[in-house]
Amino acid sequence: MTNESAIDDFCSRVNGRDYRLLIWVPPVAPPPGGFPVLWVLDGSAYFGLAVDMVRNRGLLGAEITPAVVVGVTYPSEDISVWMTRRYEDLNATPTGGERFAYGAPTGGIESFLDMLADEALPRVESRARIDRGRMAIVGHSLGGHAVLHTLFTRPALFSSYVAISPSIWWHGGELLRHEEGFKAAVESRGCAARVFIGVGGLEQTLYEPRPGLENVDLERANAMIAQAFIIERAEALAARLQAFGAAAGLDVRYTCFPGETHMSVPFAAWRQAMDHALPFGSPP
């Protein structure tokens, strides 16, 4: 949390669930059209990183466009609460009686996106003059899955989509059932969104026993790594998006960051991701 940041807790009328918005507004006058907005999923983990990036590179370095930063999270300091809630909010497939990690239900992304558009966005607008036409969303892992789901199903909601290590494998690849519909929409109507997909070069490297991993179920963790094929799935999806989207205005970038793991790649990827999502000198 930074000294300039505001905390906005509310209960959503859309889905009856509690949320927390962490909001940082650049301490300068907004451009004529308003500030861009950077929406950060898993805000409790990545909001501070996002603010530091925008403050240092946007305000001090003139390398990216200064933007309002909004971390989307939950009114709790308990990491198990964050993890439980994100499983419900960041994917589309209900699991019936089945539960994934942390005993969490799943399948709430549509009401989550309704909450962002209908409730969170007006709350941010009450604090800063923003440009709804220049909004970026960034997510890691299951958050990256949510970013791609949003691109496929609501491509006009944001202008830039940043998916880092997206869980394309989740629930048998259910995300990809929306790809053909998105492709048809892009080819018929165009889409000027910017898309950045990044992965770590070590994300498919299996764990070996070592100090610090004594309490980790390595067999289960390695089975998930083997199932996920994060690098191949992300690279293949980016290639398909580039193939059909370039002529229609879709600007897709893909990078595999050597030496980075699933947990380290967000920190390595943010510079390139923000260069693409918030390029300096965007129209005011």
Instruction: Quote the strand ranges of the chain, DSSP E.
Output: 6-11, 18-24, 35-40, 68-73, 130-140, 160-164, 194-200, 251-257
SS3 219: helix
Catalogue all structural domains in the chain, each as residue range(s) with its CATH number.
6-277 (3.40.50.1820)
The H or E element spanning position 245 is helix 230-245
Specify the pLDDT at position 98. Answer: 40
What is the Cα–Cα distance from 176 to 151, expressed in whole angstroms? 11
**Which one, of 143, 148, 171, lies nearest residue 227 by Cα?**
171
User: Are 116 and 72 contacting, i.e. CB atoms less than 8 angstroms apart?
Assistant: yes
Specify the pLDDT at position 172. Answer: 85
Cα separations (Å) of 119 from 82, 89, 106, 122, 258?
20, 15, 21, 6, 39
Q: Tell me how crowded residue 198 is: count the other CB atoms within 10 A of its CB.
A: 27
Specify the pLDDT at position 81. Answer: 87
Tell me the one-letter amino acid at 163: A
Specify the pLDDT at position 139. Answer: 98
The pLDDT averaged over each successive group of 10 residues in the chain (284 residues) is 80 96 96 96 96 95 95 93 89 60 74 97 97 97 96 97 95 92 94 96 78 73 74 96 94 97 94 94 56
Specify the pLDDT at position 106. Answer: 78
